[in-house]
Amino acid sequence: MLAPGIVLFLAFMAAPIVYTLFLSLQKKQVKGLGLGSGGRTTAFAGLENYIGSLTNADFGASVGRVLLYGLVLIPLMLGLALLFALLLDSRRTRAAGFSRTAIFLPFAVPAVISSLLWGFLYLPAVSPFYWVFDRLGWDVAGVLDSSTVLFAIANIALWGGVGFNMIVMYTSLKAVPTDIYEAAKLDGCTEVQVAWRIKIPIIAPSIVMTALFSMVATLQVFAEPTTLRPLTNSLSTSWSPLMLVYRDAFTRDDIYSAAATSIIIAVVTFAFSFLFLRVVQKRAFGQED
Amino acid sequence: MTTFSIPRTRPRRTRGSVDSIRVKPSFVSTGILLIGAIYCLFPVFWVVMAASKNSSELFSTFTLMPSTHLWDNIVELTQYRGGLYWRWVLNTALYAGIGALASTWISAISGYVLAKFEFPGKKAVFSVLLMGVLVPGVILAIPQYFLFASVGMTNTFWSVLLPQIISPYGIYLARIYAAASVPTDVIEAARTEGAGELRIFNRIALPMMAPGLVTIFLFQFVAVWNNFMLPYIMLGNDALYPVTVGLSGLLNQGATAPAMYTLVITGALLSIIPLVILFLVLQRYWKVDLAAGAVK
C-alpha cells in the first residue's frame, strides 16, 4: 500500500536528484572540429563544475543578495505575524474576524499575480502612491531602482506571507487553555506581560517552524524577481541563485554547471534547515521531552 | 503538540464573544490590525479599479477611480488569441485540481500505512520522508526538468502534473492525522470480518481522516496553483500554460506594447477570484499547527 508513494518518490524526487548529480560531474567535450553528431560528447569532469560554480562571482553576488533579502524579510514578516496573532488573540480587539480574513487573503494570490499587482503599484505612471507624491510635490525615486528593488521584492513576499504565518501562530495560541491566562491575570499580570512571558514561550515551536519554512522559501526566491523583470532594468538574470541556475540551463545551454549549482543550492538549503532545527530544537522543544 | 488542529464542528467562539462584553475594547490593537487589513486589501482593491479602465484611462486618470470598461476588457481578454486566457485558467484548474486530489489520496494512504503498520524499514522510510519535507519542491524543478528532458517528456501536460503529486509534507500531516483519528481496534475488527487492506483504507480509514485531508488538499491545491517555476521551465507550448506563466508572458509583451497592460490587469483580477472564493468558503479548514510534528 505504500507502493504508489514510494514509486512517485523515487521517480520524481530521488531520480531527478541522482540524475542531476550525475550531470553535475560531467562536461561537454568537443572532438576534432565539433562537427557532426559524433563531434560532441560528454566527459567526466570531476568536481570542475562545482569549483566553477563556487568561484563564480555572479553566484556569490546572488547568494549575498538573497541573504540580505532574508535578513530584511524574515524578521519583519514573522514579527508582524506574531504581533497580529497576539492582537487577534486579545479579547480587547474588535473586528478581529474581518482583520484576520483580510490579512490572510493575500495567501490566496499566487506569487506571480502579487508581483504583477505590486509591480504596477510601483510603476509611477499607474501607481496611486506616486499620484499622491506628485500632488504633494515630492520627488520620489522609482521603487524598482537598483538601490531599493530588494525591498520592493521583500514587500511583495511580506504581503503574501504575513497572513499565513499569522494563522499558524494564531492556531497554536488558540490551542492554549485559557486558565493559564486567568491565573496570570489574578497574579496581576498585564496583557503585554502575559503575551511576553506566557504566550510567546508557549507558541515558540510554531515560531521556529514558520522561521524554518520562511528561510527555505527565501533561499529559493524566483517567481517574484522573474515576474518583475519586464518592469525594471535593475534585476539581472542572475539576481537570485535559482535565476542563475535557470540562466545557465536555458539561455546559456550549460546544463552541467546548472546541475552543479542546483545541487549546491539544495545541499545548502538542506544543511541550513537541518542545523537550524538542531540548534533551536533543544531550546524550543526542551520542555516537552 | 502531537496533533494538528482540525476544524471543530462547533467553533470555539465562546471565549471571545462572551468575555468581550465586559472587556474594554482597545483602539490601539484594533487599529493596528485594521491597518494590516488595509495593507493586505489595498492591491486587491487597486486591481478591481484598474481592471475597469481602458488602456488610455489606465495611464491618464487617477488609478483608484473606477471606470466602465470592465466588461469590454473581459471581452477583449477572451478574444485574445482565440480564448487562450481561458485555456490557461482551465489548465490551472486541471493541474491544481487533479494534482491536489491525487496528492491527497497518496498522502492519505502513505500516512495511514506509516501510522498503523509495522514493517521492516519503516524507520528508514520515515527519515527519508522527513528529509523530503526539508527539500522544497522548487529546488527539485530543474533536476526534474533534466530528467524529463532525458526521456523527451518535457512540454507535456504530465510534466507539470506528475512531479507535484508527491508531497512529503502532505504524507507527514496525513500520518499525524491517521494516528489521531483512526482507532486500531476498528481496523482489526474489519480485518477479522475479512475485509481487504485496501478496502479497509478506502471505506473506513479515509472517511475518518476526511477533515484533515481537506487541509492537505487545500495546501496542495494552493501549492500547485502558485507554482511558477516548474511549468515555466517545463512548458514551451503556451496552450499548456497555467495562468501564472501565461500572465507573466503577457506582462513581458507589455514592456513593448503597453496596451497589453489592461489585459494583464484584467487577467490577474479574474484569476484570483476563484481562489479567493475557495478561501473564504473553506476558511475554517486553514488551521494548521506547523509545529505539530516538529518534535517527533
Percent of chain B with pLDDT over 70: 88
B68 touches chain A (CB under 8 A): no
Q: Is the pLDDT of residue B257 over 80?
A: no
Q: How distant is the Cα of A31 from the closest Cα of chain B, in angstroms? A: 22
| A240 torsion bin: left (phi>0), alpha (psi -120 to 50), beta (else) | beta
Using alpha carbons, list the distances in angstroms from residue A58 to A49, A187, B249.
Answer: 14, 58, 25
pLDDT per residue over A38-71, tens digit each?
556 777 877 888 988 888 889 999 999 999 999 9
Homologous superfamily of A67-288: MetI-like (1.10.3720.10)
Residue in A closest to B6 by C-alpha: A171
pLDDT category, B293, cuts 50, 70, 90?
very low
> Which of A220-229, A255-264, B16-25, B157-166 is predicted least confidently?
B16-25
A250 close to A226: Cβ distance less than 8 angstroms: no
Please give the average per-residue pLDDT across B254-274, as a whole number.
85
pLDDT category, B268, cuts 50, 70, 90?
very high
Please give the average per-residue pLDDT across A125-141, as a whole number.
80
pLDDT for B10 equals 43
pLDDT for B15 equals 47
Instruction: Give the total number of structural domains in chain B.
Output: 1
B260 close to A230: Cβ distance less than 8 angstroms: no
pLDDT per residue over B10-24, tens digit each?
444 444 444 444 577
Percent of chain B with pLDDT over 90: 31
In a domain, B8, yes or no: no
Residue in B closest to A260 by C-alpha: B143
pLDDT for B279 equals 81
B259 touches chain A (CB under 8 A): no
A124 touches chain B (CB under 8 A): no
User: How far is the C-alpha of A235 from the C-alpha of A146, rounded, in Å?
Assistant: 7
User: How far is the C-alpha of B215 from the C-alpha of B54, rounded, in Å?
Assistant: 40
A209 touches chain B (CB under 8 A): yes
B147 CB neighbours in chain A (<8 A) are: 15-16, 19-20
A271 CB neighbours in chain B (<8 A) are: none
> Which of A79-88, A97-106, A132-141, B140-149 is predicted least confidently?
A132-141
Reported as type and span, the H/E element at residue B91 is: helix B84-116
State CA A270 to chain mean position distance: 14
pLDDT for A4 equals 82
In a domain, B35, yes or no: no
B247 CB neighbours in chain A (<8 A) are: 112-113, 116
pLDDT for A68 equals 95
CATH number, domain with residue B211: 1.10.3720.10
pLDDT per residue over B40-70, tens digit each?
999 999 999 988 888 878 877 777 778 888 8
A233 CB neighbours in chain B (<8 A) are: none
pLDDT category, A12, cuts 50, 70, 90?
confident
A117 CB neighbours in chain B (<8 A) are: 43-44, 46-47, 268
Reported as type and span, the H/E element at residue A26 is: strand A26-30
Q: Which residues of B12-31 are buried (b: 16+ CB within 10 A; e: fewer)?
A: eeeebeeeeeeeeebeebbe
User: How far is the C-alpha of A148 from the C-alpha of A146, rounded, in Å?
Assistant: 6
User: How far is the C-alpha of B69 from the C-alpha of B55, rounded, in Å?
Assistant: 10
Cell of A18: 541522482
User: How far is the C-alpha of A152 from the C-alpha of A124, rounded, in Å?
Assistant: 14
Residue in A closest to B287 by C-alpha: A171
Interface size between A and B, measured as CB pairs under 8 A: 292
Which residues, at least 6 apart from A133, have a Cβ–Cβ distance to it below 8 Å?
A139, A140
Q: Is the pLDDT of residue A102 over 50?
A: yes
State CA B21 to chain mean position distance: 37
Instruction: Count CA within 13 A, CB hemisphere, residue B28.
Output: 4
Please give the average per-residue pLDDT across A95-105, as a whole number.
89
B170 touches chain A (CB under 8 A): no
User: How far is the C-alpha of A229 from the C-alpha of A220, rounded, in Å?
Assistant: 17
User: How far is the C-alpha of A262 from the C-alpha of A8, rounded, in Å?
Assistant: 21
Percent of chain A with pLDDT over 70: 93
Residue in B closest to A250 by C-alpha: B233
Cell of A159: 504581503
In a domain, B50, yes or no: no
User: How far is the C-alpha of A257 from the C-alpha of A59, rounded, in Å?
Assistant: 11
In a domain, B31, yes or no: no
Its domain, for residue B255, covers 73-293
pLDDT per residue over A200-253, tens digit each?
888 888 888 889 888 888 888 999 999 999 888 889 999 999 999 999 988 888
In this predicted model, which residue has the larger pLDDT, B78 or A189?
B78
Which of B154, B169, B199, B4 has its CA nearest to residue B100?
Answer: B169
Which of B160, B290, B167, B132 has its CA nearest to residue B225?
Answer: B160
User: How far is the C-alpha of B181 from the C-alpha of B210, rounded, in Å?
Assistant: 10
Please give the average per-residue pLDDT across B164-185, as a whole number.
89
Contact A266 B228 (CB under 8 A): no
Q: Is B68 exposed, middle or buried (0-12, 13-18, 19+ CB in 10 A)?
A: exposed
Q: Determine which of A66, A82, A88, A105 to mutate to test the interface with B (most B C-beta atoms within 10 Å).
A: A105
Residues 43-62 of B with CB under 8 A from A: 43-44, 46-47, 50, 58-59, 62
In this predicted model, which residue has the larger pLDDT, B234 or A96?
B234
A176 touches chain B (CB under 8 A): no
Q: How distant is the Cα of A125 from the closest Cα of chain B, in angstroms? A: 6
Q: How distant is the Cα of A30 from the closest Cα of chain B, in angstroms? A: 20
B17 touches chain A (CB under 8 A): no
The residues spanned by each domain of chain A are 67-288
pLDDT for B137 equals 67
Q: Determine which of A6, A10, A13 to mutate to test the interface with B (most B C-beta atoms within 10 Å).
A: A13
pLDDT category, A93, cuts 50, 70, 90?
confident
Please give the average per-residue pLDDT across A121-148, as a whole number.
82
B158 touches chain A (CB under 8 A): no
Contact A87 B138 (CB under 8 A): no
Q: Is the pLDDT of residue B136 over 90?
A: no
pLDDT category, B105, cuts 50, 70, 90?
very high
- Residue B269 backbone dihedrals phi, psi, to 5 degrees: -60, -50
In a domain, B49, yes or no: no
Q: Calculate the CA dihedral of residues A221, A157, A120, A141 and round it to 10 degrees.
A: -90
Average pLDDT of the residues of chain A: 85
Average pLDDT of the residues of chain B: 83
Contact B289 A168 (CB under 8 A): yes
Cell of A215: 528561510
B18 touches chain A (CB under 8 A): no
User: How far is the C-alpha of A81 from the C-alpha of A75, rounded, in Å?
Assistant: 10
Please give the average per-residue pLDDT across A282-287, as a whole number.
52
pLDDT per residue over B218-252, tens digit each?
889 988 998 899 999 999 898 999 999 999 988 88
